[in-house]
Amino acid sequence: MPRILNREPDRGGQVCGYQIQVGGWHNDGQKFCGEPKAAGRYFCQEHHDWVLDECGEIRMAPGNAIGR
Ligand SMILES: [Zn+2]
């Protein structure tokens, strides 16, 4: 089972933090990925691949750490 968080982790940290939508757009449906970032990625490997697939590129605001 992947690790799931109920609040957004520190963007400058080493946790993926990808927002997973559960049960629509209600506030209580917010979940964030708690997996460690993949080396050289802004997300874990799964979400890195997923975002690339959906968006064709990864665009992140400054201050987001990259996985070590
Ligand atoms: Zn993730």
Centre of ligand 1 to C-alpha 35, Å, is 5
In the predicted structure, residue 25 carries a pLDDT above the cut 70 = no
Q: Confirm if 52 and 60 have CB atoms less than 8 A apart.
A: no
Centre of ligand 1 to C-alpha 62, Å, is 19
Centre of ligand 1 to C-alpha 6, Å, is 13
In the predicted structure, residue 27 carries a pLDDT above the cut 70 = no
Region 16-24: mean pLDDT is 80
pLDDT band, very low/low/confident/very high, at 24 (cuts 50, 70, 90): low
The predicted pLDDT at position 35 comes to: 96
Alpha carbon distance 37, 15 (integer Å): 5
Centre of ligand 1 to C-alpha 2, Å, is 8
Alpha carbon distance 29, 37 (integer Å): 22
Alpha carbon distance 4, 30 (integer Å): 10
Centre of ligand 1 to C-alpha 61, Å, is 17
> For the whole model, what pTM was predicted?
0.82
